[in-house]
Every structure is written in C-alpha cells, then in structure tokens.
Amino acid sequence: MALDTRNVIDHPVVNTVRTVEPVGKKQYETYKKSVLTDATHSIHDPFKKNKLPLFRSPTPKTKSKQVGQVSMLKDDVALFSRLYIVTQHRDGDLDTFFKHENHPYPPSWLKEGSCDKGRSPISPTFWPRRRKKNPLAH
C-alpha cells in the first residue's frame, strides 16, 4: 500500500485554479457589455479560447542529452549495417568503405550539429597568437 503517489499538480495548473473565477467574470462582463448593452458584436460570434493549462494537459517533456545521443548511435548502426551489406553484395573494397565518415562534422567538436562553446582545435581562441614585430628593432 502506497501512501504517497507523488502525483503533484504543476505550477501553471495551480495558477489556473486560482485565477479561473476572476478570468471568467471578466469575460462575462466583456460579453455582456459588447453583445447585450452596446450591441457591437453579434450573439453568433464565437468565443475566444482561453488556452489555460488544465489537469489533463500533458506537460512537455524535455529530451535528455543521453536520449539524443542514443538515438543518433542507433541511426549510425542502422546506416553502417546497410552500407556494409551493400558493399559486400557489390564486391566493394572494404578498405575504402572504412575510409569514409558517416557524419558531416566530427562528433567530438560539434554536438548534434551545433558548435560546442568550449575550446577546440578548430576554434580561433585555440590558435597561437602572432606577435607583432617592432619595425624599428633590427
């Protein structure tokens, strides 16, 4: 028997519960004024959707870095196996097969197609600085 299910209401849903009554009253007053009193809008005009987060609204899940790497590795395995089978079927040279890369970028320098902000051999901050020569000194 579990006493705590760890089901907790999200913060946006709590805000919805706290503010739903004033929001509804404000919308009713606006409707009453624009449709019944001023007659600026038709009674057949549709209501605007509130888009308030509710209990059954799924919370967007963020993908972890590891999940992205695992999916990229699975894609690599599938591609490698297909290319390897095709190379054997066509009597290709396996030495030239292993010379080719399957990524347009080196995975150690770039992460998922975007540059890593750290120091890498391709970044200009890694290159040695040139000293300016003094034109007067010989």
Name the pLDDT band for 92 (thresholds 50, 70, 90): confident
Name the pLDDT band for 21 (thresholds 50, 70, 90): very high
What tens digit of pLDDT does each residue of 27-82 get? 999 999 999 899 898 989 888 888 888 877 666 677 777 777 788 788 888 888 88
81 part of a folded domain: yes
Q: What domain count does the chain have?
A: 2
What tens digit of pLDDT does each residue of 97-119 get? 777 666 666 555 555 556 555 55
Identify the CA nearest to 80 among candidates 58, 65, 105, 97.
97
- If asked whether residues 42 and 84 sit together in one domain, one would say no
38 part of a folded domain: yes
As a whole number of Å, the CA-based R_g of the chain is: 31
83 part of a folded domain: yes
pLDDT higher at 2 or 31 = 31
- If asked whether residues 69 and 104 sit together in one domain, one would say yes
- If asked whether residues 18 and 46 sit together in one domain, one would say yes
Alpha-carbon torsion angle 49, 54, 58, 59, nearest 10: 100
- If asked whether residues 74 and 96 sit together in one domain, one would say yes
User: Is residue 111 a contact partner of residue 100, using CB atoms and an 8 Å limit?
Assistant: no
Amino acid at site 85: I
137 part of a folded domain: no
Whole domain around residue 35: which residue ranges? 10-56
Report the pLDDT value the prediction gives residue 59, as an integer from 0 to 100. 64
- If asked whether residues 51 and 79 sit together in one domain, one would say no
For residues 31 and 38, give the distance between their C-alpha atoms in angstroms, rounded to a whole number: 10
1 part of a folded domain: no
Report the pLDDT value the prediction gives residue 28, as an integer from 0 to 100. 93
- If asked whether residues 36 and 77 sit together in one domain, one would say no
